[in-house]
Amino acid sequence: MSFINILGHDFQKEFLLKSIEKGRVANSYLFYGQEGIGKRLIALEFAKLLNCKRKNDRLEETPGGVCECSSCLKIDSSNHPDVTLVKCEDSSEIKVKQIREQIEDLIYLKPYEGKYKVSIVNDAEAMNTNAQNAFLKTLEEPPGEAVIILISSKPQQLLKTIISRCQRLEFFRLSDQVIEDCIKQKGELSQDRYAIAVKLSQGSLAKAILLDEELISERKRIIEKISELKKDSAVELLEFVDSIASQKSSKEHDHLKIFFEILFMWLKDILYLKSNISDENLVHKDFYEISKKLSERWSAEHILELRSFLEEAWVSLFHRNVNKQYVLENLIIKFAQA
């Protein structure tokens, strides 16, 4: 990977390159914007450029091109003594202990072999209150060679005092064209799936990469099954829940998230149809008939209520680690009663 190989975000890449060229690298940055669009990749590539042993040549040749100097290779393999990536470990929080050990204890030491000490905090909003307060102290007096990069899709959960001390750089969802190019490049989907995959990705490359034929067929199964849940017996219902909850692949967690996103977008489609907004906005265009029927059967209040059940289930599963089987059963029952 290299700066120029990362799709999209031209303005942000240019901005960071220029800051190195002009010797105006900030001590702390906040990269924010929706999840899965490449903020962490760009932070790592920026760390590589900052410490690259061939930096001057590279800025003249192809700015941000691929480099295989020892420093860049070490960062690629997460082995560079001056570059740290802090992230959630075994829980949904970044704790104060991590901030102390992975940032405070290291950042005041001279760079070991690079020019800068780079600390990247992924999902920075996951720092709990103590961690954020500890972090604030480091931000107030960072040493000259320190570059701290906070990455967040929910910057509103960060202390205002943290945000105000950072050079802020917003990242936007990728254009449909960029996503489509990526899907084509990957070559795993048949051509008639491109349009729906682009819609499902919602501007996120991470999601576009996850989408395969299996997930797209899964979507069909989910929508068809849920739209006729009412006719099912309790046993069939629970079998259906089992089939979602027991996918044992390594991507299981992400698949479950996509299951939820499919439902979120689908409810939005139904609401669009209810409000007679142009069909152009529909994500699941190929399920027009089913969605239209439900939009006639359900009231707007009811659709919004289902949406809030979905949101609650999302929080229980992904932020509170409530038993998966239990959450999904409850959710499916709500849809069955709709």
CB of 81 to Zn ion, least distance (A): 15
* Least CB distance to Zn ion at residue 338 (A): 56
Considering the complex, state which of residue 51 and residue 204 has its C-beta at the smaller distance from Zn ion: 51
Which CB atom, from 67 or from 107, has the smaller least distance to Zn ion? 67
Does residue 52 interact with Zn ion by CB under 5 A?
A: yes
The position carrying tokens 């990957």 is: 186
Residues 71-100 that bind Zn ion (CB under 5 A): 72
Stretch that binds Zn ion, among 11-19, 52-60, 95-103, 295-303 (CB under 5 A): 52-60
Taking contact as CB under 5 A, which single stretch among the options 36-44, 49-57, 176-184, 328-336 is the one that binds Zn ion?
49-57
The answer to the question of residue 69 lying near Zn ion (CB under 5 A) is: yes
**Minimum distance, C-beta of residue 4 to Zn ion, in the bound complex (Å):** 14
d(CA 23, CA 186): 38
Least spacing, CB of residue 10 vs Zn ion, in Å: 22
Q: Which is nearer to Zn ion, 59 or 206 (CB)?
A: 59
Instruction: Tell me how far, at minimum, the Cβ of 64 lies from Zn ion, in Å.
Output: 11
Q: Which of 6, 16, 17, 67 binds Zn ion (CB under 5 A)?
A: 67
Q: How many residues bind Zn ion (CB under 5 A)?
A: 4
Residues found near Zn ion in the complex (CB under 5 A): 52, 67, 69, 72
